[in-house]
Amino acid sequence: MTTDLAYRTDLRVYLLVKDLQPQFAAYLGTPTRARGYPPFNGDHALIIEVAPALAIERVIDLALRAGSTVQPGILFVERQFGVLEIHGPVLEEVVAAGQAVLRGTGGTAADQLQPRVLYQDIIDSITDQHAVILNRNRQGSMVMPGEALLVYEMTPALFAAVAANEAERAAPDVTVVDVQMIGAHRRAAAERSGWWSGIAGTGSGGLTSSPLPKMSLLRARVSQSADGQKLWSTRFVT
């Protein structure tokens, strides 16, 4: 059956997230997030967002017919956009599924939007009440009083996925507190106990590194990831 989908579909995000880190993979696989097949540590994911929203049903059909080990984790239809996350252990098959989507829709990877960081901050030694209210709204692991909190807000929202994954890759001991990646623009938050908390210049576990410079290093790595996505393809527009 032929379709004029290429003339009706706006490809907003076409995001390949390689080598899912343990915490972020677990976050994607929680029942409240992945109503489909959960990914595992080391899998590779492709996240696609299109408009209008129901065009995502054609997108998932194209993707699943292309790769034998590719599985859908998230299929979400919101008011304006449709979101699909697929993943698999073989990078080439995930890429092939994405190429099938591009061919079937008549789009190119160059059509997607450019990521932009709207806000970033490091909150050192958060208070106990702040920790309590964060933990009541989080979708990841708990943050404890006295720890340092790294927060990011970006657009399009789905780029929070690569931000969270790259933050964990840069600092494997980081704790992923929350990732909100569906909507107009969403957030990622992470914290690290021990020498990322407390007074600058002190440490724990035999470490004496200053906490804020260490967290600043993590922030620089995430920013570099966003820049890396720009260099990865010429599809981004200002």
Domain boundary among 111, 128, 146: 111
Residue 122: domain span:
116-232
- pLDDT per residue as tens, the chain (238 positions): 444 444 578 899 999 999 999 999 998 888 766 678 999 999 999 999 999 999 999 999 999 999 778 999 999 998 889 999 999 999 999 999 999 999 999 888 888 998 888 888 888 899 999 999 989 988 788 889 998 888 888 888 888 888 889 889 988 888 888 888 876 544 445 544 322 221 222 233 322 334 445 555 555 555 555 444 432 222 222 2
CA-CA distance, 109 to 66, in Å (whole number)? 17
Nearest Cα neighbor of 83 from 167, 186, 233, 235 is 186
Cα 163 from chain centroid (whole Å):
6
Domain match, 68 and 92 both: yes
Domain boundary among 55, 83, 111: 111
Q: Is residue 238 part of a domain?
A: no
Domain match, 135 and 94 both: no
Q: Is residue 102 part of a domain?
A: yes
The torsion angles phi and psi of 232, rounded to 5 degrees, stand at -65, -30
Q: What separation in angstroms does the CA of 82 have from each of 53, 121, 154?
A: 4, 30, 18
Q: Is residue 18 part of a domain?
A: yes
Q: Which residues contact 228 (CB under 8 A, 6 or more apart)?
A: none
Domain match, 56 and 126 both: no
Q: Which two tokens stand for residue 198?
A: 């407390």
Q: Which helix (H) or strand (E) holds 124?
A: none
Domain of 10, CATH number, reads 3.30.70.1710
Give 178-231 as a 3 state SS string.
EECCCCCCEEEEEEECHHHCCCCCCCCCCCCCCHHHHHHHHHHHHHHHHHHHHH
Q: Which amino acid is at 59?
A: V
Domain match, 126 and 106 both: no
Domain match, 141 and 204 both: yes
Domain match, 79 and 123 both: no
Taking a C-beta distance cutoff of 8 angstroms, is the pair 66, 72 a contact?
no
Q: Which amino acid is at 175?
A: T
Q: Exposed, middle or buried, 97 (CB in 10 Å: 0-12/13-18/19+)?
A: buried
Domain match, 121 and 221 both: yes
CA-CA distance, 24 to 27, in Å (whole number)? 5
Q: Which two tokens stand for residue 93?
A: 């098959």
Domain match, 143 and 52 both: no
Q: Which two tokens stand for residue 83?
A: 């979101």
Domain boundary among 85, 111, 137: 111
pTM of the predicted model as reported, rounded to 2 decimal places: 0.76
Total structural domains in the chain?
Answer: 2
